[in-house]
Amino acid sequence: MKPYRELTKEELVQLKTELEAKYKEAQAKDLHLDMSRGKPSADQLDLSMPMLDVLNSESDLKDSTGLDCRNYGVLDGLKDAKALLAGMTGVSPENVIVYGNASLNIMYDTVARAMLHGIMGHTPWCRLDKVKFLCPVPGYDRHFAITESFGIEMINIPMTVTGPDMDMVEELVQKDPAVKGIWCVPKYSNPQGITYSEETVRRFAALKPAAEDFRIFWDNAYCVHHLYDDKQDEIPEILSECVKAGNPDMVFEFCSTSKISFPGSGISCIATSENNLKDIKKQMTIQTIGHDKINQLRHVRFFKDIDGIKAHMQKHAAILRPKFEAVLDILERELGGLEIGSWVRPNGGYFISFDALEGCAKAIVAKCKEAGVVMTGAGATYPYHNDPKDSNIRIAPSFPTPEDLAAAAELFVLCVKLVSVEKLLETK
Protein backbone atom coordinates (compact mmCIF):
# COMPACT_ATOMS: atom_id res chain seq x y z
CA MET A 1 0.00 0.00 0.00
CA LYS A 2 1.24 3.46 -0.82
CA PRO A 3 1.71 6.23 1.75
CA TYR A 4 -1.62 7.53 3.04
CA ARG A 5 -0.79 11.13 2.21
CA GLU A 6 -0.58 10.20 -1.49
CA LEU A 7 -4.19 8.98 -1.46
CA THR A 8 -6.87 11.20 -3.00
CA LYS A 9 -9.69 12.58 -0.90
CA GLU A 10 -12.07 9.99 -2.36
CA GLU A 11 -9.69 7.15 -1.57
CA LEU A 12 -9.29 8.42 2.00
CA VAL A 13 -13.05 8.69 2.48
CA GLN A 14 -13.48 5.13 1.20
CA LEU A 15 -10.70 3.91 3.50
CA LYS A 16 -12.24 5.70 6.46
CA THR A 17 -15.54 3.89 5.90
CA GLU A 18 -13.76 0.51 5.80
CA LEU A 19 -11.71 1.27 8.90
CA GLU A 20 -14.75 2.46 10.82
CA ALA A 21 -16.51 -0.81 10.06
CA LYS A 22 -13.50 -2.75 11.35
CA TYR A 23 -13.37 -0.56 14.46
CA LYS A 24 -17.05 -1.32 15.18
CA GLU A 25 -16.30 -5.04 14.91
CA ALA A 26 -13.37 -4.62 17.28
CA GLN A 27 -15.52 -2.74 19.78
CA ALA A 28 -18.04 -5.57 19.73
CA LYS A 29 -15.33 -7.94 21.00
CA ASP A 30 -15.53 -6.19 24.38
CA LEU A 31 -11.77 -6.28 24.99
CA HIS A 32 -10.25 -5.48 28.38
CA LEU A 33 -6.54 -5.20 27.69
CA ASP A 34 -3.74 -3.11 29.15
CA MET A 35 -0.53 -2.05 27.43
CA SER A 36 0.03 0.93 29.70
CA ARG A 37 2.67 0.07 32.30
CA GLY A 38 6.02 -1.67 32.14
CA LYS A 39 5.22 -4.47 34.51
CA PRO A 40 6.69 -7.96 34.25
CA SER A 41 4.13 -10.67 33.50
CA ALA A 42 3.18 -13.36 35.99
CA ASP A 43 5.38 -15.96 34.28
CA GLN A 44 8.35 -13.60 34.59
CA LEU A 45 7.62 -13.24 38.30
CA ASP A 46 7.47 -17.04 38.57
CA LEU A 47 11.16 -17.11 37.59
CA SER A 48 12.04 -15.57 40.94
CA MET A 49 9.84 -17.77 43.13
CA PRO A 50 12.77 -20.01 44.18
CA MET A 51 14.28 -16.90 45.75
CA LEU A 52 11.63 -17.19 48.44
CA ASP A 53 13.01 -20.60 49.39
CA VAL A 54 16.64 -19.57 49.93
CA LEU A 55 15.89 -18.24 53.40
CA ASN A 56 13.71 -19.93 56.01
CA SER A 57 13.65 -20.36 59.78
CA GLU A 58 16.53 -22.85 59.55
CA SER A 59 18.78 -20.56 57.51
CA ASP A 60 21.99 -19.05 58.74
CA LEU A 61 21.22 -15.35 58.51
CA LYS A 62 24.80 -14.20 58.90
CA ASP A 63 26.32 -12.64 55.81
CA SER A 64 29.79 -13.45 54.49
CA THR A 65 31.38 -11.04 57.00
CA GLY A 66 29.63 -12.73 59.92
CA LEU A 67 27.07 -9.94 60.36
CA ASP A 68 23.71 -11.07 61.78
CA CYS A 69 21.22 -9.73 59.23
CA ARG A 70 18.32 -10.15 61.62
CA ASN A 71 19.42 -7.21 63.70
CA TYR A 72 19.98 -3.47 63.32
CA GLY A 73 23.22 -2.30 61.79
CA VAL A 74 24.93 -1.34 58.56
CA LEU A 75 23.54 1.88 57.16
CA ASP A 76 24.77 1.51 53.62
CA GLY A 77 24.11 -2.15 52.84
CA LEU A 78 25.69 -5.58 53.07
CA LYS A 79 29.10 -5.92 51.46
CA ASP A 80 27.86 -8.67 49.13
CA ALA A 81 24.73 -6.73 48.17
CA LYS A 82 26.91 -3.76 47.23
CA ALA A 83 29.04 -6.08 45.09
CA LEU A 84 25.96 -7.56 43.41
CA LEU A 85 24.51 -4.17 42.46
CA ALA A 86 27.94 -2.78 41.55
CA GLY A 87 28.37 -5.71 39.17
CA MET A 88 25.23 -4.68 37.31
CA THR A 89 26.44 -1.18 36.52
CA GLY A 90 30.19 -1.83 36.44
CA VAL A 91 30.99 0.55 39.31
CA SER A 92 33.19 -0.28 42.24
CA PRO A 93 31.33 -1.62 45.34
CA GLU A 94 32.90 1.17 47.45
CA ASN A 95 30.87 3.68 45.46
CA VAL A 96 27.54 2.06 46.34
CA ILE A 97 24.91 2.62 49.02
CA VAL A 98 22.27 -0.08 49.04
CA TYR A 99 18.79 1.23 49.73
CA GLY A 100 15.41 -0.39 50.08
CA ASN A 101 12.82 -2.06 47.92
CA ALA A 102 13.13 0.06 44.73
CA SER A 103 15.01 2.96 43.18
CA LEU A 104 12.40 5.63 42.41
CA ASN A 105 12.24 6.74 46.02
CA ILE A 106 16.06 7.14 46.06
CA MET A 107 15.69 9.53 43.15
CA TYR A 108 12.92 11.40 44.95
CA ASP A 109 14.99 11.48 48.11
CA THR A 110 18.05 12.73 46.24
CA VAL A 111 16.13 15.64 44.72
CA ALA A 112 14.40 16.32 48.08
CA ARG A 113 17.77 16.38 49.88
CA ALA A 114 19.19 18.84 47.34
CA MET A 115 16.11 21.02 47.79
CA LEU A 116 16.17 20.97 51.59
CA HIS A 117 19.82 20.66 52.52
CA GLY A 118 21.76 21.43 49.35
CA ILE A 119 24.47 19.30 47.79
CA MET A 120 27.90 19.19 49.44
CA GLY A 121 27.52 22.52 51.22
CA HIS A 122 25.92 24.42 48.35
CA THR A 123 22.81 26.55 48.82
CA PRO A 124 19.70 24.39 49.18
CA TRP A 125 17.79 24.57 45.92
CA CYS A 126 14.63 25.69 47.74
CA ARG A 127 16.38 29.00 48.55
CA LEU A 128 17.08 29.76 44.90
CA ASP A 129 14.75 31.77 42.70
CA LYS A 130 14.89 29.27 39.92
CA VAL A 131 15.97 25.63 39.60
CA LYS A 132 15.89 23.94 36.21
CA PHE A 133 16.27 20.34 35.07
CA LEU A 134 16.95 19.13 31.57
CA CYS A 135 14.57 16.38 30.49
CA PRO A 136 15.42 14.27 27.45
CA VAL A 137 12.12 13.60 25.65
CA PRO A 138 10.31 11.35 25.28
CA GLY A 139 11.21 10.14 28.76
CA TYR A 140 9.98 8.50 31.95
CA ASP A 141 6.84 10.09 33.40
CA ARG A 142 7.76 9.39 37.01
CA HIS A 143 11.06 11.30 36.68
CA PHE A 144 9.16 14.31 35.43
CA ALA A 145 6.61 13.93 38.22
CA ILE A 146 9.38 14.21 40.84
CA THR A 147 10.86 17.42 39.47
CA GLU A 148 7.41 18.88 38.81
CA SER A 149 6.35 18.19 42.40
CA PHE A 150 9.22 20.37 43.65
CA GLY A 151 8.41 23.22 41.26
CA ILE A 152 11.60 22.63 39.28
CA GLU A 153 11.33 24.02 35.76
CA MET A 154 11.76 21.30 33.17
CA ILE A 155 13.33 21.91 29.78
CA ASN A 156 12.75 19.45 26.94
CA ILE A 157 15.87 18.04 25.26
CA PRO A 158 15.14 16.07 22.10
CA MET A 159 16.38 12.47 22.01
CA THR A 160 18.36 11.29 18.99
CA VAL A 161 19.35 7.72 18.11
CA THR A 162 22.60 8.24 20.06
CA GLY A 163 20.99 9.78 23.16
CA PRO A 164 19.99 13.31 24.14
CA ASP A 165 20.93 16.19 21.82
CA MET A 166 24.33 16.85 23.39
CA ASP A 167 24.93 20.20 21.69
CA MET A 168 21.87 21.51 23.46
CA VAL A 169 22.77 19.82 26.78
CA GLU A 170 26.31 21.26 26.71
CA GLU A 171 25.09 24.73 25.89
CA LEU A 172 22.40 24.91 28.57
CA VAL A 173 24.51 23.30 31.30
CA GLN A 174 27.46 25.55 30.54
CA LYS A 175 25.65 28.86 30.32
CA ASP A 176 22.90 28.64 32.95
CA PRO A 177 23.72 28.20 36.66
CA ALA A 178 20.02 27.53 37.36
CA VAL A 179 20.36 24.22 35.48
CA LYS A 180 21.01 21.81 38.36
CA GLY A 181 20.32 18.44 36.86
CA ILE A 182 19.36 16.19 33.99
CA TRP A 183 17.33 12.98 33.97
CA CYS A 184 19.03 10.23 31.95
CA VAL A 185 18.12 6.61 31.22
CA PRO A 186 21.33 5.72 29.41
CA LYS A 187 20.57 2.16 28.38
CA TYR A 188 17.41 0.93 26.68
CA SER A 189 15.76 4.23 27.55
CA ASN A 190 12.17 4.50 28.66
CA PRO A 191 10.29 4.68 26.30
CA GLN A 192 12.43 4.51 23.15
CA GLY A 193 14.83 1.68 24.04
CA ILE A 194 17.71 3.88 22.89
CA THR A 195 21.19 3.28 24.29
CA TYR A 196 23.48 6.29 24.54
CA SER A 197 26.54 6.08 22.27
CA GLU A 198 30.06 6.05 23.72
CA GLU A 199 30.51 9.59 22.49
CA THR A 200 27.34 10.75 24.24
CA VAL A 201 28.47 9.18 27.54
CA ARG A 202 31.92 10.80 27.23
CA ARG A 203 30.36 14.17 26.43
CA PHE A 204 28.22 13.82 29.56
CA ALA A 205 31.29 13.07 31.66
CA ALA A 206 33.10 16.09 30.19
CA LEU A 207 30.30 18.63 30.78
CA LYS A 208 31.42 21.97 32.17
CA PRO A 209 28.45 23.06 34.26
CA ALA A 210 27.96 26.65 35.35
CA ALA A 211 26.50 25.30 38.61
CA GLU A 212 28.98 23.50 40.86
CA ASP A 213 26.11 21.49 42.31
CA PHE A 214 24.89 20.35 38.89
CA ARG A 215 24.34 16.57 38.90
CA ILE A 216 23.53 14.01 36.23
CA PHE A 217 20.73 11.73 37.45
CA TRP A 218 21.85 8.55 35.66
CA ASP A 219 18.98 6.08 36.05
CA ASN A 220 20.44 2.81 34.84
CA ALA A 221 17.14 1.00 35.34
CA TYR A 222 17.62 -1.30 32.34
CA CYS A 223 21.35 -2.03 32.64
CA VAL A 224 21.02 -5.82 32.27
CA HIS A 225 17.69 -5.95 30.46
CA HIS A 226 18.77 -7.26 27.06
CA LEU A 227 16.29 -8.93 24.71
CA TYR A 228 18.90 -10.75 22.62
CA ASP A 229 22.03 -12.75 23.45
CA ASP A 230 23.79 -11.52 20.34
CA LYS A 231 22.71 -7.87 20.40
CA GLN A 232 23.63 -6.51 23.81
CA ASP A 233 24.11 -2.76 24.05
CA GLU A 234 26.85 -1.61 26.41
CA ILE A 235 27.86 1.85 27.61
CA PRO A 236 31.04 3.18 29.22
CA GLU A 237 30.85 3.24 33.02
CA ILE A 238 29.88 6.82 33.87
CA LEU A 239 31.49 7.22 37.32
CA SER A 240 34.98 6.42 36.07
CA GLU A 241 34.41 8.48 32.90
CA CYS A 242 33.56 11.46 35.13
CA VAL A 243 36.72 10.87 37.20
CA LYS A 244 38.82 10.76 34.01
CA ALA A 245 37.21 13.97 32.77
CA GLY A 246 37.94 15.79 36.05
CA ASN A 247 34.29 15.79 37.21
CA PRO A 248 34.37 13.09 39.91
CA ASP A 249 31.32 14.35 41.82
CA MET A 250 29.01 15.11 38.90
CA VAL A 251 26.89 11.96 38.74
CA PHE A 252 24.32 10.11 40.84
CA GLU A 253 23.67 6.67 39.36
CA PHE A 254 20.62 4.60 40.31
CA CYS A 255 19.61 1.01 39.74
CA SER A 256 17.51 -1.75 41.23
CA THR A 257 16.49 -5.36 40.84
CA SER A 258 12.86 -4.35 40.28
CA LYS A 259 12.52 -5.99 36.87
CA ILE A 260 14.98 -8.74 37.75
CA SER A 261 13.41 -10.22 40.90
CA PHE A 262 10.14 -8.77 42.23
CA PRO A 263 9.21 -5.17 41.33
CA GLY A 264 8.68 -3.23 44.51
CA SER A 265 10.26 -6.01 46.59
CA GLY A 266 13.78 -5.88 45.27
CA ILE A 267 16.94 -4.10 46.32
CA SER A 268 18.24 -0.84 44.96
CA CYS A 269 21.21 1.47 45.09
CA ILE A 270 22.78 4.80 44.43
CA ALA A 271 26.36 4.81 43.13
CA THR A 272 28.39 7.98 43.33
CA SER A 273 31.71 9.54 44.39
CA GLU A 274 33.14 9.35 47.90
CA ASN A 275 32.34 13.03 48.51
CA ASN A 276 28.73 12.58 47.51
CA LEU A 277 28.45 9.38 49.55
CA LYS A 278 29.65 11.20 52.67
CA ASP A 279 27.15 13.98 52.06
CA ILE A 280 24.28 11.52 51.56
CA LYS A 281 25.15 9.43 54.61
CA LYS A 282 25.12 12.50 56.84
CA GLN A 283 21.40 12.81 56.21
CA MET A 284 20.66 9.12 55.82
CA THR A 285 21.91 8.38 59.30
CA ILE A 286 19.12 10.61 60.63
CA GLN A 287 16.56 9.08 58.28
CA THR A 288 17.07 5.39 58.98
CA ILE A 289 19.05 2.87 60.98
CA GLY A 290 19.34 0.78 57.85
CA HIS A 291 17.36 -0.95 55.11
CA ASP A 292 16.04 -4.51 54.84
CA LYS A 293 19.17 -6.65 55.13
CA ILE A 294 17.25 -9.90 55.03
CA ASN A 295 16.04 -9.05 51.53
CA GLN A 296 19.57 -8.05 50.57
CA LEU A 297 20.81 -11.43 51.81
CA ARG A 298 18.04 -13.23 49.94
CA HIS A 299 19.08 -11.54 46.71
CA VAL A 300 22.76 -12.30 47.32
CA ARG A 301 22.13 -15.97 48.10
CA PHE A 302 19.80 -16.39 45.11
CA PHE A 303 21.77 -14.57 42.40
CA LYS A 304 25.26 -14.95 43.90
CA ASP A 305 26.93 -12.58 41.44
CA ILE A 306 26.54 -10.78 38.15
CA ASP A 307 26.73 -14.07 36.23
CA GLY A 308 23.71 -15.29 38.22
CA ILE A 309 21.87 -12.11 37.27
CA LYS A 310 22.83 -12.46 33.61
CA ALA A 311 21.60 -16.07 33.49
CA HIS A 312 18.33 -15.00 35.13
CA MET A 313 17.90 -12.13 32.66
CA GLN A 314 18.20 -14.58 29.77
CA LYS A 315 15.11 -16.31 31.13
CA HIS A 316 13.26 -13.00 31.27
CA ALA A 317 14.37 -12.26 27.70
CA ALA A 318 13.03 -15.60 26.48
CA ILE A 319 9.59 -14.55 27.71
CA LEU A 320 9.78 -10.90 26.64
CA ARG A 321 11.38 -11.31 23.19
CA PRO A 322 8.41 -12.97 21.46
CA LYS A 323 6.11 -10.28 22.87
CA PHE A 324 8.24 -7.44 21.57
CA GLU A 325 8.57 -9.18 18.23
CA ALA A 326 4.82 -9.84 17.99
CA VAL A 327 4.08 -6.11 18.43
CA LEU A 328 6.89 -5.02 16.12
CA ASP A 329 5.80 -7.50 13.44
CA ILE A 330 2.23 -6.21 13.58
CA LEU A 331 3.45 -2.60 13.36
CA GLU A 332 5.65 -3.51 10.39
CA ARG A 333 3.00 -5.59 8.62
CA GLU A 334 0.14 -3.15 9.10
CA LEU A 335 1.84 0.24 9.06
CA GLY A 336 5.05 -0.33 7.08
CA GLY A 337 5.18 2.02 4.07
CA LEU A 338 2.07 4.00 5.06
CA GLU A 339 4.14 6.85 6.53
CA ILE A 340 1.69 7.44 9.34
CA GLY A 341 4.01 6.44 12.17
CA SER A 342 7.55 5.51 13.11
CA TRP A 343 9.11 3.39 15.83
CA VAL A 344 12.49 2.05 16.96
CA ARG A 345 13.30 -1.67 17.27
CA PRO A 346 14.88 -1.86 20.74
CA ASN A 347 17.51 -4.40 21.79
CA GLY A 348 16.30 -4.31 25.37
CA GLY A 349 14.29 -2.53 28.02
CA TYR A 350 10.55 -2.59 28.50
CA PHE A 351 8.99 -0.39 25.85
CA ILE A 352 8.36 0.34 22.22
CA SER A 353 7.95 4.01 21.44
CA PHE A 354 5.60 4.96 18.63
CA ASP A 355 5.49 8.36 16.95
CA ALA A 356 2.22 9.04 15.18
CA LEU A 357 1.48 11.87 12.76
CA GLU A 358 1.50 15.20 14.57
CA GLY A 359 -1.69 15.92 16.46
CA CYS A 360 -2.83 12.26 16.53
CA ALA A 361 -1.49 10.64 19.72
CA LYS A 362 -4.29 11.70 22.09
CA ALA A 363 -6.97 10.67 19.62
CA ILE A 364 -5.32 7.26 19.03
CA VAL A 365 -5.05 6.52 22.75
CA ALA A 366 -8.68 7.62 23.26
CA LYS A 367 -9.87 5.40 20.39
CA CYS A 368 -7.98 2.43 21.85
CA LYS A 369 -9.60 3.06 25.23
CA GLU A 370 -13.10 3.23 23.73
CA ALA A 371 -12.50 -0.23 22.33
CA GLY A 372 -11.14 -1.66 25.58
CA VAL A 373 -7.35 -1.28 25.20
CA VAL A 374 -5.60 0.93 27.74
CA MET A 375 -2.37 2.58 26.59
CA THR A 376 -0.10 4.94 28.58
CA GLY A 377 -1.77 8.36 28.43
CA ALA A 378 -0.60 10.41 25.45
CA GLY A 379 1.68 13.17 26.67
CA ALA A 380 2.87 11.14 29.67
CA THR A 381 6.32 10.82 28.12
CA TYR A 382 6.80 14.62 28.29
CA PRO A 383 7.21 17.05 31.20
CA TYR A 384 3.90 18.55 32.31
CA HIS A 385 2.16 15.86 30.19
CA ASN A 386 2.66 18.18 27.27
CA ASP A 387 3.88 16.55 24.08
CA PRO A 388 4.15 19.64 21.87
CA LYS A 389 3.56 17.56 18.74
CA ASP A 390 0.94 15.28 20.32
CA SER A 391 2.73 12.44 18.60
CA ASN A 392 4.42 10.03 21.04
CA ILE A 393 2.77 6.89 22.41
CA ARG A 394 4.49 4.42 24.72
CA ILE A 395 3.70 0.75 24.16
CA ALA A 396 4.39 -1.62 27.06
CA PRO A 397 4.29 -5.20 25.76
CA SER A 398 5.49 -7.07 28.85
CA PHE A 399 2.38 -7.67 30.93
CA PRO A 400 -0.36 -9.10 28.67
CA THR A 401 -0.34 -12.73 27.53
CA PRO A 402 0.87 -13.23 23.92
CA GLU A 403 -2.73 -13.71 22.70
CA ASP A 404 -3.98 -10.57 24.46
CA LEU A 405 -1.00 -8.67 23.21
CA ALA A 406 -1.66 -9.61 19.60
CA ALA A 407 -5.31 -8.54 19.97
CA ALA A 408 -4.25 -5.25 21.60
CA ALA A 409 -1.63 -4.53 18.94
CA GLU A 410 -4.09 -5.24 16.12
CA LEU A 411 -6.53 -2.79 17.66
CA PHE A 412 -3.76 -0.23 18.14
CA VAL A 413 -2.74 -0.27 14.46
CA LEU A 414 -6.39 -0.01 13.44
CA CYS A 415 -6.79 3.08 15.63
CA VAL A 416 -3.56 4.57 14.22
CA LYS A 417 -4.91 4.11 10.69
CA LEU A 418 -8.32 5.52 11.46
CA VAL A 419 -7.07 8.60 13.30
CA SER A 420 -4.42 9.24 10.63
CA VAL A 421 -7.00 9.10 7.85
CA GLU A 422 -9.20 11.53 9.78
CA LYS A 423 -6.22 13.84 10.23
CA LEU A 424 -5.24 13.70 6.56
CA LEU A 425 -8.80 14.39 5.51
CA GLU A 426 -8.70 17.65 7.47
CA THR A 427 -6.09 18.96 5.03
CA LYS A 428 -7.67 17.72 1.78
Give the residues lining the site for ligand PMP (CB under 6 A). Answer: 38, 102-104, 140, 185, 190, 219, 221, 256, 258, 263, 268
The DSSP output letter for 291 is: -
Shortest CB 300 distance to ligand PMP, Å: 18
**Closest CB to ligand PMP among residues 193, 423:** 193
3-state secondary structure of 184: strand
In contact, 180 and 215? CB cutoff 8 Å = yes
How far is the C-alpha of 331 from the C-alpha of 319, rounded, in Å?
20
**Closest CB to ligand PMP among residues 38, 341:** 38
How far is the C-alpha of 174 from the C-alpha of 167, rounded, in Å?
11
The closest alpha carbon to 296, from 23, 61, 58, belongs to 61
94 HSE (CA, 13 A, CB side): 4
In this structure, what is the dihedral angle of CA atoms 345, 351, 357, 363, given to the nearest 10 degrees?
150
**Closest CB to ligand PMP among residues 347, 420:** 347
Q: How many CB atoms lie within 10 A of CB 244?
A: 13
Distances (CA, A) of 259 to 130, 161, 330, 362, 379: 35, 24, 25, 29, 24
**Closest CB to ligand PMP among residues 256, 272:** 256
Shortest CB 351 distance to ligand PMP, Å: 8
Q: Residues 280, 282, 288, 294: is their CA dihedral positive or negative?
A: positive
Shortest CB 189 distance to ligand PMP, Å: 7
DSSP string, 198-218: HHHHHHHHT---SSTT-EEEE
Shortest CB 298 distance to ligand PMP, Å: 16
**Closest CB to ligand PMP among residues 36, 420:** 36
Shortest CB 143 distance to ligand PMP, Å: 7
Shortest CB 154 distance to ligand PMP, Å: 16
In contact, 412 and 373? CB cutoff 8 Å = yes
In contact, 15 and 7? CB cutoff 8 Å = yes
**Closest CB to ligand PMP among residues 76, 253:** 253
**Closest CB to ligand PMP among residues 114, 185:** 185
Shortest CB 371 distance to ligand PMP, Å: 26
**Closest CB to ligand PMP among residues 256, 295:** 256
Shortest CB 135 distance to ligand PMP, Å: 13
Residues in the chain: 428
**Closest CB to ligand PMP among residues 103, 353:** 103
Shortest CB 340 distance to ligand PMP, Å: 27
How far is the C-alpha of 256 from the C-alpha of 37, rounded, in Å?
17
